[in-house]
Amino acid sequence: ERERERERERETASAPALTREESNRVSRRLKKMSHERLAGANVELPSSSLLCNANKMIISREHIDSLRAKFESLPNKTPDNQEILLELEDNQQQPKEPSSTNGGAGGELVVEVAQLVIKSGAKNALSGRMMSQLTERLDQLESWAMANNSSNTGEGRRLARCLLIRGHGGTFCSGSDLITARHTTTNQLAGWELAQLMQYNLRRLAQLPLISVAFIEGYALGGGAELALAADMRLMSGEARLGFVHAKNGICCGWSGGFRLVQLAGRARALELMSSARLIGHQEAQQFGLCEQRADSLDEALKFVRGHAIESERTSAAVKLLVEETSSGSSSAELALQLECKLFAATWGKEAHLRALDRNSKHYSSSSSK
């Protein structure tokens, strides 16, 4: 670790001058990124190193597990069979479509899609037990995503993995269920702990080293809208409605959705949507930068997410961190460009890059160039 710190100091010495705050910030981000996402196999930081809220408080996994135990003990509507399902695809027989922009030529790219499915009788509202279960599902997803290290799947095929998040039974998610809400309004500490647990979960979802897409059918309301915004991209059906309805319930966003809404839609639009608590369809959501396109079936959603899968989890992590850091507006141009340079170097000459060079990969066909 000390050798890595000294190496960073040598790199920083040759870079443009940064303020102490900027230098500390980039060091923290690069340390987190290099250990958790871009390091070699079997190199990980302890799970206690996750950044969870706007105050940059480090929340340990031990603390999160204690919160999970509290929320699991809350009453549940057991007949509703509330659960978070994780369906991991093993589909090595179907290559990515040749027309996809990131598949390239010189070998078929097999895409596996994991589906995170929210299932609850109460319009897919999240119970305390489901919030705790989401942490377990994210553990599984991280392991599944990071296992994507093999050079091929046999017969010259390569592997890419991605995630689709959806609701069961034609609706996405309506936020926290009423039983959980009523049992956590006894004091402000309970609200704080609920926000901590869900910010932890949604932060981890956003940082998964694979592309994630939320497929919104029916309603995504309150916490459900916040969950949708934690995905990298969103699709909405023609009948779907997205709403930040918190203000009608006397509260504001607490699961990190307010922060992401401002990032995606801008300050004025975020204020308008949160203060009015109105529901918007796919057309407005696209105008506001909250939705990529309309999709009216699961097949359409799966086709979309497959088309955006990236072969290497290292490359996925680098692309996502680059976009996040640049779009947040918190970095100076110099700092953002320095990070881009380091991310480029972190992926240069690695497995996915070398395989692409070996394939002499082309990104166009002779017909498309005419």
**Is position 13 within any domain?**
no
**Is position 235 within any domain?**
yes
My answer on whether 292 and 319 are in the same domain is no
| Cβ-contact 110, 95 below 8 angstroms | yes
My answer on whether 156 and 260 are in the same domain is yes
How many domains would you assign to the chain?
2
pLDDT in tens, 123-182: 899 999 999 999 999 999 999 998 865 444 555 568 899 999 999 999 999 999 988 898
My answer on whether 127 and 212 are in the same domain is yes
My answer on whether 130 and 187 are in the same domain is yes
**Is position 131 within any domain?**
yes
Taking residue 267's Cβ as centre, other Cβ atoms within 10 Å add up to 10
pTM (2 decimals)?
A: 0.79
Give the mean model confidence (pLDDT) for residues 222-243: 98
Give the mean model confidence (pLDDT) for residues 255-268: 95
pLDDT of amino acid 154? 52
pLDDT in tens, 180-196: 898 888 888 899 999 99
My answer on whether 319 and 224 are in the same domain is no
Report the candidate in 102, 124, 120 with the shortest Cα–Cα distance to residue 111: 102
My answer on whether 300 and 322 are in the same domain is no
- Helix (H) / strand (E) element for 213: namely strand 211-216
My answer on whether 69 and 202 are in the same domain is yes
**Is position 27 within any domain?**
no
My answer on whether 68 and 216 are in the same domain is yes
**Is position 249 within any domain?**
yes
* Lowest pLDDT segment from 99-108, 251-260, 278-287: 99-108
* Lowest pLDDT segment from 3-7, 73-77, 224-228, 324-328: 3-7
Q: Which domain holds residue 65?
A: 58-90+108-310
CATH classification of the domain holding 161:
3.90.226.10
My answer on whether 70 and 210 are in the same domain is yes
My answer on whether 255 and 292 are in the same domain is yes
CA distance 295 to 280: 16
Q: Which value, to the nearest 10 degrees, does the dihedral of the CA atoms of residues 329, 330, 333, 335 take?
A: -150
Tokens linked to 316: 């996925």
More confident residue, 180 or 223: 223
